[in-house]
């Protein structure tokens, strides 16, 4: 039995000043966690119980799908990460340290290499596959900006698992099993989620999905369709190809546009000096050409220009994801100096394209459809071109999804408007493919006795982040409201009497009976603490069922409070144990 008179906890009356998001505020205030280091938290008894319950649910479902638990050290040698290039690739986010002999070590940010080598060490036949292994481990990442308490720390608890298969079909099966297990885990945690398509990006895999808890304070932006079930991470959105523009336009003409350095000033100038007959000019009539530099992993660079409608922002993440593994950056002054034909602010596609004199590759966003007419730069200072038609007056080398996805954009599935929402990434499933197995030499003999490279999947759940996410979903102004499955106890018995009086005796008796029934009981047996304080603390701590043994005992009643529903029901003392046990076992 957890006795509040003994429990190592101190609830705070005021919000801690450094906590902004509700989960952080309430977990500290209710005595679940305490900040111990930048990006690091101490788990107090109540919090540790919740964390272990989340862990247990994850463990049960992973075991049920056939994965086997192992445990690696967090302290890892450099050479393993050197083999895959991640010692350098991971950059500043990696915690590095040296041992007394000066040898390099790191604190594991994720364990692909270790799992791959472990399987290589032990297995060598297709008969050993498939196999899925997992661990629940403390991970270390030297985040540039830890924030929001448990939501982004530098040390956090993660379940990571890895599947090993003989071929892509088998990988698809392992992937589906993990995905199903994740759905069961989040359902048991009562954590709402959407599964969004994610970019496989530099990891080189083929299929990747994120589980996002749709919560405003989340750091991930995703889109979802207002009509169908489509959802995707913003950088992974693919737009449907718009139909070509079949209108006929006037011949293009070059016009002087003094003092029009921005799109807004250009549009104003056009409306004043070259008004359209049908409607005013708009930013969406202009074609904005952004100059980028691509840097390939081998160090070579290329200048690239991307055309997007002038009313849209360029999304560098989306572009980078499609050009991976090349890195993308805006062209700097030195770069412009090398391309004298590119006049900043007046760049037009007339001189661009790999077959043009400049030889500069030119891509357009799909919204710049064939046959559409644009206002754009004339490649001379203070001069623009109007009625420049795609396909007639200029050509592109191809298309690239380049504009920042905005609310109201059409859904690629059904064309209904998309919504933009924020979420917390609580899980990620990923078909890694052969990247790690290749680099680390993980092969097995197939049934023909031939060496084949194993294909892998990697799957993660942020366990400590899940605790915070649940707190984000289940709280109100006065405290936490845990789902029953992970509450630190089944019932919180509030006893409002003084030591030795009838109320205290009755409360202790009920608590003991509840415990005898197998329930986890937290009893507020503090002497000399006023009922108001006990009620406030019970609401703050957030155990879903609160049983008050107090003044209504005189009428033979106790009070059964539901923290979620906010209800308070007087029930006969004799029924108390049965009722509470039934509630606890209902799972609701």
The total number of residues written for the chain in this structure: 588
- Which residues, at least 6 apart from 14, have a Cβ–Cβ distance to it below 8 Å? 29
Binding RNA (rule: CB under 7 A), the pick from 3, 18, 79, 572 is 18
Residue from the set 44, 133, 537, 576 that interacts with RNA by CB under 7 A: 537
Stretch in the footprint of RNA (CB under 7 A) among 37-45, 269-277, 288-296, 369-377 = 37-45
Other beta carbons within 10 Å of 398: 9
Stretch that binds RNA, among 48-56, 183-191, 439-447, 546-554 (CB under 7 A): 546-554
Residue number, 97 or 241, with CB nearest to RNA: 97
Residue 396 host element (H or E): none
Which stretch in 189-197, 299-307, 411-419, 531-539 sits in contact with RNA by CB under 7 A?
531-539
To RNA, the closest distance from the beta carbon of 151 in angstroms equals 9
CB-count burial class (<10 Å; 0-12, 13-18, 19+) for 99: exposed
Applying CB under 7 A, which of residues 14, 121, 169, 278 lies at the interface with RNA? 14
Least spacing, CB of residue 369 vs RNA, in Å? 28
The count of C-alpha atoms lying within 13 angstroms of the C-alpha of 428, restricted to the half-sphere facing its C-beta, is 20
How far apart (Å, rounded) are the C-alpha atoms in residues 350 and 380? Answer: 12
Element (H, E) at 328: strand 327-330
C-beta of 198: minimal distance to RNA in Å?
9
Which H or E run contains 446? Answer: none
| Neighbouring C-alpha atoms within 13 Å toward the C-beta of 116 | 26
The stretch among 118-126, 267-275, 360-368, 552-560 that binds RNA (CB under 7 A) is: 552-560
Cβ neighbourhood burial of 426 (10 Å; 0-12, 13-18, 19+): buried
3-state secondary structure of 179: helix
Report the nearest approach of RNA to the CB of residue 556 (Å).
12
Binders in 83-112 for RNA, by CB under 7 A: 93, 109-110
* 529 in contact with RNA (CB under 7 A): yes
Site for RNA in 189-228 (CB under 7 A): 202-203, 219
Looking at the Cβ atoms of 14 and 250, the one nearer to RNA is: 14
For residues 62 and 70, the answer to whether their CB atoms sit within 8 Å is no
Query: Does the protein bind RNA through residue 536 (CB under 7 A)?
Result: yes
Q: What is the C-alpha separation between 271 and 264, in angstroms, rounded? A: 11
**Per-residue string for binding with RNA, 402-431, x by CB under 7 A?**
--------------------------x-x-
40 φ/ψ angles, rounded to the nearest 5 degrees: -135, 140
Shortest Å distance, C-beta 26 to RNA: 10
400/366 Cα distance (integer angstroms) = 7
Residue 335 CB, nearest distance to RNA (Å)? 18
Binder among 146, 349, 433, 457 for RNA (CB under 7 A): 146
CB of 397 to RNA, least distance (A): 24
Q: Does 175 bind RNA (CB under 7 A)?
A: no
Contact flags string 452-471 toward RNA, x per CB under 7 A: ------x-x-x---------
Question: Cβ closer to RNA: 328 or 454?
Answer: 328
Q: For RNA, which residue of 539, 542, 580, 583 counts as binding (CB under 7 A)? A: 539
User: Is 110 or 124 the residue whose CB approaches RNA more closely?
Assistant: 110
* Stretch of 9-17, 62-70, 223-231, 352-360 contacting RNA, by CB under 7 A: 9-17
DSSP category for residue 243: P
| CB neighbourhood size of 393 (10 A) | 18
Task: By CB under 7 A, name the one of 100, 101, 145, 340 that touches RNA.
Answer: 145
Closest C-alpha to 50, from 30, 20, 72, 21:
30
- Count other C-beta atoms under 10 Å from residue 432's C-beta: 25
* Count of residues interacting with RNA (CB under 7 A): 62
Least Cβ distance, residue 112 to RNA (angstroms): 8
Q: From the list 551, 556, 572, 575, which residue makes contact with RNA (rule: CB under 7 A)?
A: 551
Q: How far is the CB of 145 from RNA (least distance, A)?
A: 4
Query: Which residue in the block uniquely carries the two structure tokens 């799109």?
Result: 263
State the burial class of residue 528 (Cβ atoms within 10 Å of its Cβ: 0-12, 13-18, 19+).
Answer: exposed
For 505-561, the DSSP string reads HHHHHHHHHHHHTT--EEEE--TT--HHHHHHHHHHHT-SEEEEESGGGGGTEEEEE
Beta carbon of residue 375, minimum distance to RNA (angstroms, whole number): 28
Exactly one of 39, 423, 457, 483 binds RNA (CB under 7 A); that residue is 39
- 260-297 burial: b if 16+ Cβ within 10 Å, else e: beebeebbebbeeeeeeeeeebbbebbbbbbbbbbeee
CA of 260: how far to CAs of 270, 346, 452, 571, in Å?
Answer: 10, 10, 61, 77
Cβ burial, residue 520 (10 Å; 0-12/13-18/19+): middle
User: Should residue 317 be labelled a site residue for RNA when binding is judged by CB under 7 A?
Assistant: yes
Residue 552 interacts with RNA (CB under 7 A): yes or no: yes
Stretch that binds RNA, among 147-155, 250-258, 300-308, 517-525 (CB under 7 A): 147-155
393 binds RNA, rule: CB under 7 A? no
Separation CA 225–CA 420 (nearest Å): 9
Q: Which stretch binds RNA (CB under 7 A): 7-15, 346-354, 380-388, 413-421?
A: 7-15
Q: How far is the C-alpha of 382 from the C-alpha of 484, rounded, in Å?
A: 67
Site string for RNA, 474-493 (x = CB under 7 A): ----x---------------
**Binding residues vs RNA (CB under 7 A):** 10-21, 37-39, 93, 109-110, 141, 143-149, 152, 158, 160, 202-203, 219, 316-317, 428, 430, 458, 460, 462, 478, 496, 498, 527-533, 535-537, 539-540, 548-553, 559, 568
């Amino acid at each position: 039995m957890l006795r509040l008179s003994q429990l190592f906890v101190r609830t705070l009356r005021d919000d801690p000043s450094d906590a902004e998001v509700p989960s952080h505020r309430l977990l500290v205030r209710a005595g679940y966690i305490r900040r111990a280091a930048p990006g690091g938290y101490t788990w107090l008894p109540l919090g540790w119980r919740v964390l272990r319950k989340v862990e247990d649910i994850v463990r049960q479902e992973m075991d049920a799908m056939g994965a086997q638990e192992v445990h690696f050290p967090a302290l890892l040698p450099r050479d393993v990460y050197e083999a895959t290039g991640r010692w350098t690739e991971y950059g500043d986010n990696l915690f590095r340290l040296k041992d007394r002999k000066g040898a390099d070590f790191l604190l594991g940010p994720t364990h692909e290499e270790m799992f791959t080598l472990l399987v290589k060490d032990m297995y060598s036949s297709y008969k050993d596959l498939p196999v899925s292994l997992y661990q629940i481990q403390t991970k270390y990442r030297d985040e540039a900006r830890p924030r929001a308490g448990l939501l982004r720390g530098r040390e956090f608890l993660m379940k990571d698992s890895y599947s090993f298969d003989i071929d892509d079909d088998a990988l698809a099966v392992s992937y589906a099993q993990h995905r199903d297990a994740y759905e069961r885990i989040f359902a048991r945690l009562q954590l709402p989620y959407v599964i969004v398509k994610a970019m496989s990006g530099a990891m080189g895999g083929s299929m990747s999905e994120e589980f996002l808890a749709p919560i405003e304070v989340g750091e991930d932006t995703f889109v979802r369709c207002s009509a169908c079930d489509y959802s995707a991470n913003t950088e992974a959105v693919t737009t449907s190809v718009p139909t070509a523009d079949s209108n006929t336009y006037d011949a293009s003409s070059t016009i002087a546009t003094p003092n029009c350095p921005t799109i807004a000033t250009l549009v104003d100038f056009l409306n004043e000096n070259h008004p359209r007959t049908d409607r005013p000019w708009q930013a969406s009539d202009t074609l904005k050409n952004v100059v980028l530099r691509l840097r390939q992993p081998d160090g070579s660079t290329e200048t690239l220009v991307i055309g997007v409608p002038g009313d849209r922002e360029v999304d560098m993440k989306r572009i980078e994801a499609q050009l991976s593994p090349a890195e993308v950056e805006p062209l700097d002054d030195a770069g412009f100096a090398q391309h004298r034909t590119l006049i900043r602010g007046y760049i037009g596609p007339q001189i661009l394209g790999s077959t043009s004199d400049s030889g500069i590759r030119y891509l357009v966003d799909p919204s710049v459809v064939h046959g559409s007419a644009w206002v754009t730069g004339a490649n001379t200072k203070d001069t623009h071109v109007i009625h420049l038609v795609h396909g007639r007056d200029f050509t592109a080398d191809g298309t690239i999804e380049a504009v920042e996805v905005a609310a109201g954009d059409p859904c690629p599935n059904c064309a209904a408007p998309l919504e933009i929402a924020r979420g917390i990434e609580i899980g990620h499933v990923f078909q890694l493919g052969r990247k790690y197995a290749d680099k680390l030499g993980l092969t097995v003999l197939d049934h023909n006795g031939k060496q084949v490279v194993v294909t892998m999947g990697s799957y993660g759940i942020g366990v400590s982040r899940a605790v915070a996410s649940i707190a984000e979903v289940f709280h109100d102004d006065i405290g936490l409201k845990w789902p029953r499955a992970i509450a630190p106890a089944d019932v919180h018995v509030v006893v409002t009497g003084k030591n030795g009086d009838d109320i205290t005796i009755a409360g202790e008796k009920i608590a003991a009976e509840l415990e005898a029934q197998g329930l986890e009981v937290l009893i507020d047996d503090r002497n000399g603490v006023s009922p108001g304080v006990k009620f406030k603390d019970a609401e703050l701590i957030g155990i879903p069922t609160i049983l008050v043994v107090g003044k209504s005992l005189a009428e033979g009643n106790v009070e059964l409070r539901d923290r979620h529903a906010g209800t308070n029901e007087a029930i006969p003392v004799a029924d108390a144990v049965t009722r509470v046990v039934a509630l606890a076992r209902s799972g609701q």
